[in-house]
Structure 1
Amino acid sequence: MHTPSQIRSQGRRLHAALDQVIEQRGWSTPKRRAHQWRMLRSLVQHAHAHVPLYQRLFAQAGFIPAMLDDWDDLSKIPFLAKADLRSAAREDLTAKDPRGDIRWLASSGSTGIPASMARTEESLWHYMACNTALYHDWCHGQPLSHGLYFVDMARDSIDFAAADLLRTTVPDSRIFSVHEPVDKLTRELLNAAPEFISSYPSTLRAIALELRAKGREMKKTRLIHLTSEMLDAHTRRLLAQIFPNARLIETYTSTEGGLVAWQCVQDSRWHVAEANVLCEIVDDEGRPTEGLGHMVITDLTNTATPILRYRGLGDLARWETEPCPCGSSARSIRQIEGRSAAMLRTRGGGLVSPYVITNAIEEVPGLAQYQVVQKQPGMLEVRVVAETGAARHDVEKGVRGALETALDHAADLQITFVSTIAAPPGSHKVPLVISELPPAA
C-alpha cells in the first residue's frame, strides 16, 4: 500500500495527465491531425537516432526520417511485427539514455507470441488519465462510489503497472488478481456487492457461471467495464442475466498501444483514441483499405520503446464511415472482428471469421462454455462444457447443427465434452476460438 506522501506525489502526476487529456478532448479534427503528425515525426526521428531496433529496420527498408514530408509518405515507414519485438535484446529496444523513468512490460501473448517492451511512466499516467476520463463519462459525471477491479497482477503486465497507479485513488482491498481461484473471486464479489466492476470478459464470465450455479444475481452492480478480450454475445447474455441492472462498456487496449479505442456510449462502434494512437487498417499487402483489414497502430505517447506502424496486435477491423450519433469527430471502427490468429480455414482453404463461430453457437440450449480449436484445415475440435442438468446428447446435437449450418458443412467437427476450459499457462485469458495453423496454411 502506498504511503500518504506517495499518494500525494502520484496524485499530482495524475492531475497533470488529466489536464492534458481534458485539453485534448476539446481539440478539433485539424488540431488532432496536426498533433499526430508532430508526434509521428518526433518519434521517427528519435527511433532513427537512438533505438537500435529501428536503426536496423529502417536501414533494411532504405528509410530515413527526411523521407517523411506528408501523410502520403506514411507507407514508407516499415511495419513493426511482434516477432521484431520478441527477438530483440532489451538494449536494442530503447535508447541508451531513455527519456524519464521507464517500466519493462510483456504483452499477454493473446496472439500466442508474448513480447517485451518498455514504457515511460509518463505514457502510463496518460493511459490512466484516459481511462479515468472515460469512467467519468460512463457515470454521466457522477462516479460510482464502490468498485472492484479484477486485474492481471503479473509483475510485467501493463495492468499491474496500471493497478500500481490506480492505488492513488482506489484502496488495495478493491483490487484482485485474476489468477486467484474463481470461487475466491466470487466470494469477494458477493461480499462487496459493488456498483462498478472492471474486469476481463473471461474472468467475469467464470464468476458469473459460479453465481448462476448458486442462484445469485448482483442487482446492485450498475456499470461493468470490460477490456483486453473479445466479448462474445454468449458472455454478454450471461452477464446481463447475472447483473441485470448493469450497463456493459468496453475498451480496446494493449500493452503495445495503451488505450487504442473505446466503445461509444450511444452506438456499437469504437472511437479511436486519436490523441494517443495513429490507427491504420491495411489489406494483406499492407495497403490502406476501407474493407476488412489488419489493425496497424503507432503509439504517440511512448518514447521508451517506440511503437511505429505495429502490425503485431493481430486484430481485424473495418472503418465506420458514417457520422456518429454521439457527435464525436474521432474516427470510428465499425467493429473489432477478431484476431487474425483466430481466423479458421475450410477444406477448400477459405477463411472463416471467429465471429461466425461465436454467433452461431451462442444460442445452443444447455451450453455453459465452449472453445473451438483448429489444428488442420477443414477440421474443428469443439470443446464443450454443458450446463448442470443438460442432456449431453441434446447439447451435442445443438452445437453440431448450429456450426454445420454456419459453416455450410465446409469443415468436419469433433465435439468433446470437458468439465472445464482453463486459460493457457501464463495467461488469464480463455480464448473462444484458436487456430494452431501456420500463417501460410
Structure 2
Amino acid sequence: MKKIRIILFILLIALLVGVYLNYPKLNLISGVASKNMASQVFLAKRAPDSVTTFDNNMPLVKLADAQLLIQDSAATASVYGLMKRKAVYKDGVGAALTNEEHDTHSFTIAPNRTIDKDTLPFPYGNAGVTDTLFENVDYELLEKAIDNAFARPSEQKTRTVLVAYKNHIIGERYLKGFTKDTPMLGWSITKSVLATLYGMMQYEGKIDIHSYRPFEKEIRMKGSKSAITINHLLRMQSGLAWEENYFEISDVTKMLFLSSDMPQIQRNKQVIAQPTEVWNYSSGTSNLLSGILREQFKTHQEYLDFPYSSLIDKIGMHSMIIETDLTGNFVGSSYAWATTRDWAKFGLLYLNKGMWNGERLFAADWVDYVSEPTAHSDGVYGAHFWLNANGKYPDVPRDLYSANGFQGQYVFIIPSKDLVVVRTGLAEDPEFEVNTFLKEVLSAID
C-alpha cells in the first residue's frame, strides 16, 4: 500500500509540473481553437463538429473545448475550463481573437466589394468551366495522379486539388464535405497576395520598393532601422529579430493569438543584422508590410477597399476574404480565405505575367522579381514566394515558384509547362509528398 501511495504521489507531482510548465501555452491553445471555430463556421460555413474532429485535432489544440455563440457570431474555447478565449466574427473582415484590450473589433467599417454578375466561364468569371480537351494531356493518367493525392487520407489529409493548364481546368477533386464553393484558409499563401499588392502599387508608380524606407526618419546610428527598404522586407532580409515557431510560445504565436495590432510586433523588434546579411522567414515582416501598406492611404476605408478593388474582385476572386486584426490591419501573413478555383485564379494571374483578360495589373518583370532567389535562402525563397531554383523538388522544372501555407496549402506555378496546380489540406511535405504529386501530374502532360 505504501508503495502505491508513493507512485501516486510521484504521478501527482509530475502532473502538477506538467500543468505548471504548459499553463502559459493554454492561452495560445484556447486561442487557436476558438479562432479556428469562428472562422471555419461563420466564414467558410463549415459544420462545427467537422472543425472539432479535423481542424482542431492538432497536438495540444485538441485538448481545448470550443463552443459556438451563434447569436454573438463568436466562438469560445478553454482547456478543462482554464484560459478561456473568445473569437468574434464580423462580416467582411472575418474573425479575430479578443484580448484584454478589445472585446470586439475596434472599428465599424468593412471593405466595399464589387461583385459583378458572372457571364464568363473560369478563369475570367464563375459561370462554370469550358469543356476543352487537349490532345497532349493524358486524362486517365492525370486522374490517377489526383487519386494518389487522396489515396492515404489519414496521412496525406488532402482536401482539394485543382490542375489548370493553359487557363483551363483539366483536373479537379474535392474531399467529401468540401466543394468548389468552400473557402479554404491559405495561411501563408496570404503573404504572396500581400506582395502582389505592392507589385501593383509599384506598377502604378505609387511606391518604389527599392528606395522606400519605412523607417527613414529614424536616426542613422548603430542598430538603426533606417536603411530597411520594402525590398528587404519582401525578401525577408530586413535584419530585424524574429522567431517563427508555431509549436512554442514565440514571436509568431504571440502575434497571431495575443496581439490587437499585429504590424507593431515586428516594427518594435531590434536590429540583429544589416539588411541583406541574413535571411529569416518572418510572418511578422508580412504583417509589418500590411501596416506600411495602410500608411499609404488617407483613410482606413481606402486601405480596406484597396485589395478588393484593385486585385481580388477585379479578377473575380469574389470568395476571397482577408481577415483583419482587432484594430483593422489585414493579417497579411496568414488569414486569406478563397475557394480552390479562386486560389487557382491567383496562380493564373502570375502565369500570365500580370495580364488579366486584356488588362495589366502588374509589370511582367514583377514575376522575375518575386521568383529571383534571395541571398542566403539556399535558392528556396524569392520575394514572398517559394522557389524550386535549387531543385528542392528534383523531378519538377526549376522555374516552378509557389505560394505556400501551413499544413500544406499550395499554389504551384510552372511557367515552362503553362501550368498552375492548387492543393489544400491539413498535412504538408513529407506527409504529403509534393515532388511525387507534381511529378505524376506533369507526366500526364506531353
Q: TM-score range by the shorter chain?
A: under 0.3
| TM-score in terms of structure 2 length | 0.25
- Between Structure 1 and Structure 2, which shows a larger proportion of strand residues? 1
| TM-score in terms of structure 1 length | 0.25
